[in-house]
């Protein structure tokens, strides 16, 4: 008689990000992460890295740097008994040779949409995973994996009223490139070439690759009702 397959042991996942979109993505993939808010001064971190390198960071490198710093900050904020994987993420938009993070102000978001309406750019989303299953290992020495995934984004042509309404909603102010795919900005995106979850803020296929590279079965992260193996 064939026995019941042995269930994969669950591994907790900590999300070192305050992004509602990343949280929603993980939930849709069957994972209810434990949340930890990373304390990272993004502008200062990028400026310090560029000074050390003697050159400006490109969009992909910026995203990877910040994802790594967020994961590290999140891991260091956890109590010593907390075990599992810590994931940090960041997204940066590249448009006409410029690196665009969050616009933060309505004026900057408006300027970006006036420029990118009817055009296209590349959204880079990075993640960094720190393996804290063995807490005898210091965070700085813990195994880690990460990568950057990129997707081409083609925008519809927006009229002035649409731009004003979208900027006025407040949504574009706190997202890379001043747009979303999974919310109000979705109808303004004509086409995505690449992994759609990259544009939302976290490549799920890329995260799976990193998790598996650390020796953790992806399905061991499933912990939402109705999604467990």
Instruction: Give catalytic residues, as residue numbers.
Output: 90
H helix intervals, 6-101: 20-28, 42-53, 59-77
Q: How far, in Å, CA of 146 to CA of 80, rounded?
A: 23
Distance of CA 6 to the CA centre of its chain: 32
Nearest 5°: the CA angle 187, 166, 91 is: 75
Place of tokens 């969050």: 102
User: What sign does the CA torsion over 14, 24, 101, 151 have?
Assistant: positive
User: By CB neighbour count within 10 A (0-12 exposed, 13-18 middle, 19+ buried), where does 77 fall?
Assistant: middle
């Amino acid at each position: 008689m064939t026995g019941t397959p042995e269930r994969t042991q669950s591994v907790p996942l900590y999300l070192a990000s305050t992004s509602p979109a990343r949280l929603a993505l993980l939930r849709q993939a069957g994972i209810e992460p434990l949340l930890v808010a990373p304390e990272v001064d993004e502008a200062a971190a990028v400026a310090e890295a560029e000074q050390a390198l003697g050159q400006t960071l490109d969009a992909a490198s910026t995203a990877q740097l910040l994802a790594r710093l967020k994961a590290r900050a999140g891991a260091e904020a956890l109590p010593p008994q907390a075990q599992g994987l810590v994931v940090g993420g960041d997204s940066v938009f590249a448009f006409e040779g410029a690196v665009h993070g969050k616009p933060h102000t309505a004026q900057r978001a408006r300027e970006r949409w006036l420029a990118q309406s009817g055009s296209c750019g590349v959204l880079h989303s990075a993640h960094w995973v720190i393996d804290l299953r063995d807490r005898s290992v210091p965070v700085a020495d813990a195994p880690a994996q990460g990568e950057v995934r990129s997707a081409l984004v083609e925008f519809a042509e927006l009229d002035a009223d649409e731009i004003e309404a979208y900027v006025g909603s407040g949504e574009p102010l706190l997202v890379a490139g001043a747009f979303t795919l999974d919310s109000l900005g979705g109808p303004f995106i004509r086409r995505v070439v690449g992994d759609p979850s990259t544009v939302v803020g976290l490549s799920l296929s890329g995260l799976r690759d990193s998790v598996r590279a650390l020796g953790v079965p992806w399905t061991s992260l499933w912990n939402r009702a109705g999604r467990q193996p």
